[in-house]
Amino acid sequence: MGKGIGGVVLRAFGAKEHTITVTGREQRTDNLVRIHFHSDTLLNPSGEEPGNWMRAWFPGADGDSKEYQRGYTYVNVDAPAGNFSVDFVIHEPAGPACAWAQRCEIGETIDAHRLGEDPFHPEAEIEGAGLPTGFLFLGDLASYPAIHQMALAAAEERPDATIEVILERHSDDDEQSPLPEGENITARWVDPRPDGTSLYQEITGRDWTGWYIWAAAETLVTKHVRTFLRKEAGLPKKATHTQAYWVKGKNMGTDRG
């Protein structure tokens, strides 16, 4: 299963490595490209829950011998056929995954595995809080695939609940990706703030009792949200999920080589 400390850690946690093969490319927007994949073994035979994701290894550019691990959400899953897609945000400077997505060819293969998933179930009760009365999703284009899936799933499975989506806009091109829509969904883009408090400013001062809150954005932005949820909102730990998806100006993830 791979080389270096990354492979050692994954083996220690029992992660199985899978081969995934590129079957096509689709330019979704000016800054979002969708790569289609096939794998005989990666997907759950019974299907994938909204927001499920993989960890994949991407080759470095310019002759770099290392591979770099990044996490990506499955979209358009056809589990019986072994087919799925992944959306890549195109940005500058391009990281290993972004650069690879722009140059990969049909038939090319990379390694992937699944580890550390936390499936989203809108109809599940939260320990110590009961059934959520609302769902708040916070993020940006990087977490858009997961948020879009989960918001639509929550709207369908919980028509009695309020669904709110707030996404931080880092480029005018971001808005080419349509927001989730539904009778009980409200969704909007907001501008970033230099101090990373854009999403925090959208949620502070409101009573979130009874809600489930899921947040995944840039590291500093996520940190402000996490601090609010822990110190101000007073929500049970299992009523929240926060995860940094990327770091401004830096690569994020492990490598092997």
- Give the DSSP per-residue string, 222-243: HHHHHHHIIIII---GGGEEEE
Q: Nearest 5 degrees, angle CA 99-CA 105-CA 106?
A: 140
In the chain, CATH 2.40.30.10 covers: 4-118
Question: What are residue 6's phi and psi, to 5 degrees?
Answer: -60, -45
Q: Which fold has domain 134-246?
A: Rossmann fold (3.40.50)
Q: Are 227 and 116 in contact (CB under 8 A)?
A: no
- Give the DSSP per-residue string, 100-141: HHHH--TT-EEEEE--S-----TTPPBTTTBS-SEEEEEEET
In the chain, CATH 3.40.50.80 covers: 134-246
Give the pLDDT confidence score for residue 252 in this predicted structure: 60
Q: Which fold has domain 4-118?
A: Elongation Factor Tu (Ef-tu); domain 3 (2.40.30)
Give the pLDDT confidence score for residue 129 in this predicted structure: 80
pTM above 0.85, yes or no: yes
Q: How would you write the pLDDT of the chain (257 residues) with one tens digit per residue?
A: 445 545 554 554 457 999 999 999 999 999 999 999 999 999 999 999 999 999 999 998 766 778 999 999 999 999 999 999 999 999 888 889 999 999 999 999 999 999 877 789 999 998 878 899 999 999 999 999 999 999 999 999 999 999 999 999 999 999 999 999 999 999 999 999 999 999 999 999 999 999 999 999 999 999 999 999 999 998 998 999 999 998 886 666 676 76
